[in-house]
């Protein structure tokens, strides 16, 4: 004899839930686009219980986070990042520019031009997920992107030291203590103080 311990939602219920989520996300993004930093701050307080005037970390704050880590912590981050960087460099070597004259005066080819601004999202609201920083930021850095923005949510009410260290060591040029939809919206749409990026990357 068998018993049903749990029954999943019906197709109609799932569709309704997905529609509600979509509408909520669209409303939040529209608010970010309209009100910029003010909306970002309100969302950060609401979802992460974290408030500050400027969510971009200063050089002093980044250095403070790194100093909180032990030498072993730093070595482990370096150990994790090295193979990612090595592979990215090897991969880039496979994508060389090409130019060939197929017939007199007919020149064909392609160039590898790095994206100017990339936004890298690093999740970490419950647990610091450093791997996302390694995989996204290092790849953008090796590719030659000139502006690499990285956002990660605060952890226990403060920027997560290990994530910040990983972001900096990977090559991020701007680091923000910002998570969730407010981070994605800020990078994608831009705000009063954060210029929008050309591409967003992250897990999932």
Q: What is the pLDDT of residues 127-147, one digit of tens each?
A: 888 999 999 999 999 999 999
For residue 148, list its beta bridge partners: 118
- The SS3 of residue 132 is helix
Q: How far apart are CA 92 and CA 105, in angstroms?
A: 29
Return the CATH number at 155. Answer: 3.40.50.1980
In a domain, 36, yes or no: yes
Q: Dihedral (C-alpha) 17, 23, 25, 27: value to the nearest 10 degrees?
A: -150
pLDDT of residue 154: 95
In a domain, 197, yes or no: yes
The predicted model gives 47-76 an average pLDDT of 97
Whether residue 6 is predicted with pLDDT greater than 90 in this model: the reply is: no
Residue pLDDT, tens place only, 62-121: 999 999 999 999 999 999 999 999 999 999 999 899 999 999 999 999 999 999 999 999
Q: Which pair of tokens denotes residue 116?
A: 């100017």
In a domain, 3, yes or no: no
In three-state form (DSSP H/G/I as H, E/B as E, the rest C), the secondary structure along the chain is CCCCCCCCCCHHHHHHHHHHHHHHHHHHHHHHHHHCHHHHHHHHHHHHCCCCCCCECCHHHHHHHHHCCCHHHHHHHHHHHHHHHHHHHHHHHCCCCEEEEEECCEEEEECCCCCCEEEEECCCCCCCCHHHHHHHHHHHHHHCCCEEEEEECCECCECCHHHHHHHHHHCCCEEEECCHHHHHHHHHHCCCCCCCCCEEECCC
Q: Which pair of tokens denotes residue 61?
A: 């704050």
In a domain, 5, yes or no: no
In a domain, 183, yes or no: yes
Q: How far apart are CA 59 and CA 172, in angstroms?
A: 12
In a domain, 195, yes or no: yes
Domain boundaries, position 63: 11-201
- Banded pLDDT at 198 (limits 50, 70, 90): very high
pLDDT of residue 1: 66
In a domain, 48, yes or no: yes
pLDDT of residue 14: 87
How many structural domains does the chain have?
A: 1
Q: What percent of the chain has pLDDT over 90?
A: 85
In a domain, 4, yes or no: no
């Amino acid at each position: 004899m068998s018993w049903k311990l749990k029954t999943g939602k019906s197709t109609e219920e799932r569709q309704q839930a997905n529609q509600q989520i979509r509408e909520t996300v669209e409303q939040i993004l529209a608010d970010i686009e309209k009100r910029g930093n003010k909306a970002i701050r309100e969302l950060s307080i609401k979802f992460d219980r974290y408030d500050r005037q400027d969510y971009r970390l200063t050089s002093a704050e980044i250095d403070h986070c790194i100093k909180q880590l032990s030498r072993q912590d730093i070595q482990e981050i370096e150990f994790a990042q090295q193979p990612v960087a090595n592979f990215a460099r090897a991969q880039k070597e496979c994508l060389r520019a090409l130019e060939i004259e197929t017939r007199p005066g007919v020149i064909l080819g392609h160039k590898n031009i790095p994206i100017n601004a990339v936004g890298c999202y690093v999740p970490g609201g419950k647990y610091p997920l450093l791997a996302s920083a390694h995989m996204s930021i290092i790849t953008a850095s090796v590719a030659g992107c000139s502006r690499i923005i990285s956002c990660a949510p605060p952890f226990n009410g403060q920027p997560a030291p290990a994530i910040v260290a990983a972001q900096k060591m990977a090559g991020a040029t701007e680091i923000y203590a910002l998570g969730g939809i407010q981070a994605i919206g800020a990078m994608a749409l831009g705000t009063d103080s954060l210029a929008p990026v050309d591409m967003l990357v992250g897990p999932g």
